[in-house]
Amino acid sequence: MAALYDSIGQHYRHYRRPDPRIRDAIVRSLGDALTVVNVGAGTGSYEPPDTAVIAVEPSIVMIQQRVHVAPAVQATATALPFRDAAFDAAMAILTIHHWPGLEQGLLELRRVARRRVVIVTWDPGSPGFWLSDYFPGASAADREIFPTLPEVSRVLGDITVSKLMVPHDCSDGFLGAYWRRPEAYLSDGVRSAISTFAKFKEPSEGLERLRQDLQTGEWQRRYGAILGLTELDAGYRVIICGEGSHCRARDGI
């Protein structure tokens, strides 16, 4: 996975700028944690301010693009180099689907967090949005690699789950960010910073069909109703384990 992000991470600073509304949701979920480990941290976009943060990231390219001064450790989620209960909280933002050992990584989050674990992920049980009509292979690939919410719960124990709505002008260019800006998916640069497209070589006919539908108005006819929305439930979820959710490690998936 470090090799993947050594490649696609080259353009993260330009296309994956943190969105303040998503940041606020993550910071609220962390509560009053004073020490946080950010696992699969990437460039550190959503690390909470005024908090002692240590980042864990396997890709040196991503570490070199970090936007915050918090120290970073080059390591993997499945072998965190910290003692038990070393932090108030552990966070993992759009990363758990990349881990080669999901169960071990989740248990590591729980091990190093005294009070809570906060995870942002995508629910493969959600309907998604219109993009899958053009790139069904990419959608199918994501549904295979993203863990389901019951799979996460079977490892961590009781969890609370809330929707993470995607703003129509989201500045963080993850896969669902451009749901109201369909022309963005035609950009090579945009797709180069999205891991789904980096791992799945989308058929050129999907891009061409999207381009033609935008030119002819067919896209607007089929999906134009969403243009009046300011935010969308595209399947992204915030998972909190700990304190009120009685987080406890269970046997594996």
Q: What is the pLDDT of residue 196?
A: 84
Q: Is the distance from CB of 89 to CB of 53 less than 8 angstroms?
A: no
Q: What is the pLDDT of residues 57-116, one digit of tens each?
A: 998 888 888 877 789 999 999 999 999 999 999 999 999 999 989 999 999 999 999 999
Percent of the chain at pLDDT above 70? 88
Contacts from 51-54 at CB under 8 Å and sequence distance 24+?
A: 54/82, 54/87
Find the helix or strand (DSSP H, E) in which 240 lies: strand 236-242
Q: The whole model's pTM is what?
A: 0.90
pLDDT in tens, 39-63: 999 888 899 988 999 999 998 888 8
Residues 6+ apart with CB under 8 A from 64: none
Pick the CATH number of 2-241 from 3.40.50.150, 3.40.50.10680, 3.60.20.10, 1.10.238.10: 3.40.50.150
* Per-residue pLDDT at 168: 98
Instruction: Parse the chain into domains and list their residue ranges.
Output: 2-241
Q: What is the pLDDT of residues 105-152, one digit of tens each?
A: 999 999 999 999 999 999 999 998 999 999 988 888 899 999 999 999
